[in-house]
Amino acid sequence: MRIIRYGILCADETTNGELMMSETSKKVAVIGAGASGMMAAIHALRCGCSVTVFEKQKKAGRKLAVTGNGQCNISNRNLDVSRYHGQNPMFVRNLFARFGLDETIEFFDSIGIPFVEKKQGKLYPCSLQAQSVADILEYEVGRGGGEISLHRRVDGIRKTGSGIELVTAGDERHVFDSVILAAGGCAYPQIGASTQGFELASSVGHSVVDPYPAILPITIPLRALHRLEGIKWDVSLSAVLDGKIVRRAEGEILFTRYGISGPVSLEISRAVNEPLLKGKYPVIEINLFPDKKESEVSEMFDLLFSDPQKEVAFAMEGVLKKRIPDIFIGIAGIDPHKRCGELSRQDIASVVQCCTSLQLEPGEVRPFSEAVTSAGGVPVNEVVPSTMESKKMSGVYLCGEVLDIDGDSGGFNLQFAWSSGAVAGMSQSR
């Protein structure tokens, strides 16, 4: 029985739902068994293609299996073009028109991964296990008749008279009708990320915007802040450049031995790192009381400091976790052990300012090994948005992190992987 999925005429289906490949099936190679690669493979298989996935690691989906602190923030209900960055972030509008959030939910429902929604529209698999997502995607590749060739690094792509030839380790050569490049970016090299995808894209004629780590913790050189290591607190953080707020986020911060991390730090990190790498110097503004106006904080502190015998830091322990008052009062230039009765109005104003709008200078950008994703890659104006096919070499398709599109923290990067991979895979029916 011929079937249609997502508007594409696909292969024959058996009575148990598996797809049967004909002897004349289009031969498709997918380079990379990550999120976008497996998505591409499954959709190419559903369109009747014969698919081989080449993965240089010993296991498929290694990075996917650790995303979202192991829970897999699979997408976001608040999907919007404004959450994406790169030389042409509007590219995602056309992409999502073909395969957006609704199609993503439908696809994952169809393979047994319904979503659950959490704060800020973040969508997760109901299992809250990233490994289960990786395992089920791998299963779907096999169920469709695809092959995942592990420990198989692709070193070259070139046109031949009979198709597109891939050269793998040991100078082995394989010829396919088309190739989908889904080799990922540089983030998280300890589980296999590398520049391989960029090198292969460059070899077929693409330019590459120098990659840099986009979502990762932030270095703060101020040593006093390092004494808060391990403490979590809900704050607002703003990235300020040339006196203007370029990015603001609210959520949980984690103070570390080198600076700050946690969800709210990751959300603004790109707005901090990008100008730093261009020789500009943003500042980070932190507010420990994001749900209060500055005047309300001032009134609260007047009440807290009303007992003249209390030490200033101790007076604040009812509204902040231990150690935070000592550090922030010290940064304000006041002895934390000073008695409240000894505070001047200027002292109180300094404490209020420090707790509501403390400006911190960021240090050097953290390494790729700590990054969730990387920015940079192949400019999207070098691919056809409706198919993801390369404009430099016909028959080659690109998807996922190898492209110069990166999203905000919160499931936006995985959504780009699902969408770009699905479109690249569906395009193999042509």
Q: What is the pLDDT along the chain (430 residues), one digit of tens a residue?
A: 223 233 333 444 444 444 444 456 899 999 999 999 999 999 999 999 999 999 999 999 999 999 988 999 999 999 999 999 998 999 999 999 999 999 999 999 999 999 999 988 999 999 999 999 999 999 999 999 999 999 999 999 999 988 999 999 888 899 999 999 999 888 878 877 789 999 999 999 999 999 999 899 999 999 999 999 999 999 999 999 999 999 999 999 999 999 999 999 999 999 999 999 889 999 999 999 999 999 999 999 999 999 999 999 999 999 999 999 999 999 999 999 999 999 999 999 999 999 999 999 999 999 998 888 889 999 999 999 999 999 999 999 999 999 999 999 999 999 999 999 999 999 998 6
Let me know whether 172 and 312 are in one domain. Answer: no
Q: 242 and 204, same structural domain?
A: no
Ranges assigned E (strand) in 42-108: 50-54, 75-76, 84-85
Q: Of 333, 359, 385, which closes a domain?
A: 359
Which of 318, 335, 359 is a domain's end point?
A: 359
Same domain, 69 and 194: yes
Identify whether the C-beta of residue 77 lies closer than 8 Å to the C-beta of residue 117: yes
Indicate whether 167 and 32 sit together in one domain.
yes
Q: Is residue 175 part of a domain?
A: yes
- Pairing state between β 122-125 and 75-76: antiparallel
209 lies in the same domain as 252? no
On whether both 130 and 75 belong to a single domain, the answer is yes
Residue 274 domain flag: yes
Both 116 and 223 in one domain: the answer is no
368 part of a folded domain: no
Residues 180 and 70 in one domain: yes
How is residue 209 annotated by DSSP?
Answer: E
Where do runs of H (alpha helix) occur along 278-390? Answer: 294-304, 312-315, 324-331, 345-357
Identify whether residues 415 and 306 lie together within a single domain: no
Alpha-carbon Rg for the chain, nearest whole angstrom, is 25
- The CATH code of the domain that includes 152 is 3.50.50.60
Pair (220, 312) in one structural domain: no
Q: What is the pTM of this model?
A: 0.87
User: Do residues 77 and 125 both lie within one domain?
Assistant: yes
Distance, CA of 33 to CA of 31 (rounded, Å): 7
Range of the domain at 314: 294-359
Do 15 and 26 sit in the same domain of this protein?
Answer: yes
Number of domains in the chain: 3
